[in-house]
Structure 1
Amino acid sequence: MSEELEGGFDVGEIIALTEEGSEDVTRDFRIMYIFDIEDRTYLVLVPVDQEEEEEYEVHFLRYDGTDMLQAIEDDEEWEQVEATFETLIAELEHED
């Protein structure tokens, strides 16, 4: 998935992304979290049509500074992003 962004992004914002495949499908995603690891920025997205469900898909995309969101294809980077997200969630749950 990749999508051009105009003028940045905010937590809570809904963005439409096109999932490329045999048939291109556009889905709306809500930006749930934005965080940085070193010099890279990542967005955590949840499909809008799953927000009210008990379990839902979570998507991580990298913002590369060129107004594009990029899929994370490197396993090591993916594990680092996933671990950071899990730590963020644990800290938020601890605050409640």
Structure 2
Amino acid sequence: MADKNNHVHEGDDQQQITLIDDKGNEELYQVLFTFDSEDYGKSYVLLYPESASDDEEVDIQAFSFTPDENGDASSGNLYPIEDDDEWDMVEEVLNTFLADEDEDGE
């Protein structure tokens, strides 16, 4: 099987997205990484709160998105992931990414 991370692109310091909750509150998020899925024919973005510190556990948000002309998620449209199998795939990519980060950090 091919490396599942060959379409993972780590976020850079410039990629930030503002999310607005149901109450109209805005929160700035940093792009953790984006990736493409051939199985679902979509691009995905994983985000974490900009205010999170390095030593705290964070709630990572995941969305499918329509990339802008540069392939970025920062100005495209975000869509919720509603399919359980699709969520499982996203979680698997995230877990692989986090495992690779742990190896790089040691």
Matched length: 85
1:27-52 CA distances to partner (integer Å, 9 max, x unpaired)? 10000111122132111100112234
Describe the shift of the 1:30–1:65 C-alpha distance in structure 2 as closer, same or farther (beyond 3 A): closer
Residues 1:89 and 2:98 are matched in the alignment: yes
Distance across 2 between alignment mates of 1:28 and 1:65: 19
- Using the size of structure 2 for normalisation, the TM-score is 0.68
Structure 1 runs of 4+ aligned residues shifted over 3 Å read none
Structure showing greater relative contact order (alpha-carbon pairs closer than 8 Å, 6 or more residues apart): 1
Unaligned 5+ segments in structure 1 are 1-9
Describe the shift of the 1:28–1:84 C-alpha distance in structure 2 as closer, same or farther (beyond 3 A): same
Partner SS state of residue 82, structure 2: coil
Describe the shift of the 1:15–1:65 C-alpha distance in structure 2 as closer, same or farther (beyond 3 A): closer
Describe the shift of the 1:51–1:62 C-alpha distance in structure 2 as closer, same or farther (beyond 3 A): farther
Q: Looking at secondary structure, tell me which structure has more helix per residue.
A: 1
- Using the size of structure 1 for normalisation, the TM-score is 0.75
